[in-house]
Amino acid sequence: MAPIIHVYAVVAGMYAFAGAILSSEESFLAAHVSAQERAMGTLVFAGSLLISVLAAIFVAHRARIDSHDWLRTGGGLSARRAWIGVTIGYVAYLSLHAMSDVIQLGQIPSLARWAWILSFLALLLLWQDGRLPLPHLLLALVVVAIDVVTGLGTGSLYAGLLAPIAAFSLVVHRWRRVPWMLLVAALVAGLALNAQKSQFRVTYGVGGNTADVELIPAGLEFVRNIPEGMSALGTEEGLSWSARRFAYSSGGLLAVVMGDNRDHYDQWDARTYAFLPVVIVPRALFPWKPEATFGNEFGRAFGLLAGNDFRTSANLPMVAEAYITFGWTGILTVAIALGGLLGVLSLVLRGRSPSAVLLSAMASTVVISGIETDSTHAIGFLPAILVLGVPLVRWLTPLRTEKP
C-alpha cells in the first residue's frame, strides 16, 4: 500500500508532540482554556489520530481493490513534458492569481499551481533516477524558491511551503519509509518560521492579510529573518512560543469548543460539509455560491475573534469542525471516515510507477492540510486534485509509441 497513512500519521503526530511537549503551559488561548483543558484537548486530538490510523490500516488490509492498471501508461517520465508542465502551469498560476482580484475564480488558481508543482515533482523523480542533469534540477528549484518566497510573503507557512511539503511526501512515497532526519530538520525549520511569523503579520498586515503588500519583498524580509528565528529556538521562551502554534491546532482549539457550554452550537450547522460539493466551482459560474469564511465565522462565534473582525481566520481543524457540528459522535465518525479515505487512497495509489508515486505524494500533501484547516480545504479539494492529476501524470508518462 502507498504510505499516505504514514505521512498523515507522522505529520499529525508531530503537531501533537510539539504542541504537548515543547510548548509551555501558557498558550495563545490562555484566556479561553486552562493548561489542563488544553492537555485534554491534545489527548482527544491524539485519540482521533489513532482511530484514523487504525481505520486506515483496517481498510488497507481488508478492502479488495484491484490493481491500478488505470495508472499505467507503458511509458516513462518525459523531461520535456515535465518542463512544459512547469512553465505553462506556473505562468497560468500567476495569470489566474492576478485575474482573481477581478473575477471570482475560486480554487482554479490553486489547480494551476498544483499543475506546475506536480510537473516539478516529475523532474525530481527524473533526477533521482539519473535522467535529469543537476543544473536542470537547480533551474527548477529557482522556480520553487520564487514560489516559496511569494507564499511566505502572504504570512502563511503552508502557502509558502506547499512545494517543499510535496517534495517531502514524494521522498516518502519513493523510498517507502519516513526519512526521520529529514523530518526532524523539517520540524526545526517549522519552529524557526513560526518564531517570527507573528511579528511578520503585525508588520505587514492584521492576521496575515497581506493583500495590499508586495509579496516578493515581504517574502524576502521573512526569509532574511529566518536566522533570528533559529536563534530564538536556543532559548526556552523562544522555543515554547513557536511550539504554541502546534498546540493551537492540535489540541488548543478543540479544548475551546469542548469547554464552551454556551449556546453556540445552534449557530453552527453543517455548513462546512454542505460546502464540499461546490468547493472547486468558480464563483463566476456559480454566483450564489456561499462565501467560504468558515475560520473567521468560527472565531467570532466562539469568542476567539472580536465580533467586528471579518478579516482574521482562527483556523478550524477537522477534529474541532466535527465536534462543533456533531459533538463526540462527530469526532468518532470523522476520524473513521478520514481513516477509511486514507486506506482507500493507499490501495488505489499503491503502485511504484511514476504515475502512482506522483499522485500519492500529491494526495498526501492535500490531506495533511486538514490538520490545521476544515474539510473544505483538505477533503473537498482532493477530488479536484485527482481529476487534474490523473490526466496530467498520464501526459507526463507517454507511451513509447508517442512522441515524448
The per-residue pLDDT for range 83-108, each reduced to its tens digit, is 999 999 999 998 888 787 666 676 78
C-alpha 6/C-alpha 240 separation (Å) is 27
Confidence band for 357, pLDDT divided at 50, 70 and 90? confident
**In the prediction, which pLDDT does 146 show?**
93
Integer angstrom CA distances of residue 239 from 192, 231, 372: 9, 10, 20
What is the torsion angle, in degrees rounded to the nearest 10, for the CA atoms of residue 36, residue 337, residue 70 and residue 376? -70
pLDDT given for residue 126 in this prediction: 95
Alpha helices in 153-307 (DSSP H): 157-175, 180-204, 215-224, 226-232, 236-247, 253-258, 271-275, 294-301
Distance CA 150, CA 217 (A): 8
> Average of pLDDT values for 259-275?
70
Residue-level pLDDT at 65: 61
Gap between the Cα atoms of 180 and 177, Å rounded: 9
Q: Is 237 exposed, middle or buried (0-12, 13-18, 19+ CB in 10 A)?
A: exposed
Q: Which residues, including other chains, have CB under 8 Å from residue 145's CB and lie 6 or more apart? A: none
Instruction: State the pLDDT at residue 350.
Output: 78
pLDDT tens per residue across span 124-136: 999 999 999 999 9
Cα–Cα distances (Å) from 228 to 127, 152, 233, 306, in that order, read: 33, 16, 9, 31
Mean pLDDT value across the chain: 80
- Give dist(CA 20, CA 222) in Å, integer: 27
**C-alpha atoms less than 13 angstroms from C-alpha of 220 in its C-beta half-sphere:** 4
Report pLDDT digits (tens) over 339-355.
999 888 888 887 778 88
Q: Helix 4-17 and helix 236-247: axis angle, to 10°?
A: 130
Write out the three cell numbers for 83: 518542463
For the record, the C-alpha cell of 325 comes out as: 457540528
The residue assigned the cell 482580484 is: 101
Among residues 247, 322, 329, the alpha carbon closest in space to that of 42 is found at 247
Q: CA dihedral defined by 280, 283, 285, 286, rounded to 10 degrees?
A: 90
Query: Which pLDDT band holds residue 193 (cuts at 50, 70, 90)?
Result: confident
Contact 328, 144 (CB under 8 A): no
pTM of the predicted structure, to 2 decimals: 0.84
**Contact (Cβ atoms closer than 8 angstroms) between residue 399 and residue 73:** yes
**Distances from the Cα of 359 to the Cαs of 20, 166, 355, in angstroms?**
33, 10, 6
Predicted local confidence at residue 189, as pLDDT: 80
N-term to C-term CA, the chain? 30
pLDDT of 133 reads 95
- Between CA 51 and CA 60 the distance in angstroms is 14
Lowest-confidence region among 6-15, 196-205, 215-224, 328-337 = 196-205
Cα distances (Å, whole numbers) of residue 258 to 8, 307, 332: 24, 21, 14
Residue with cell 507503458: 74
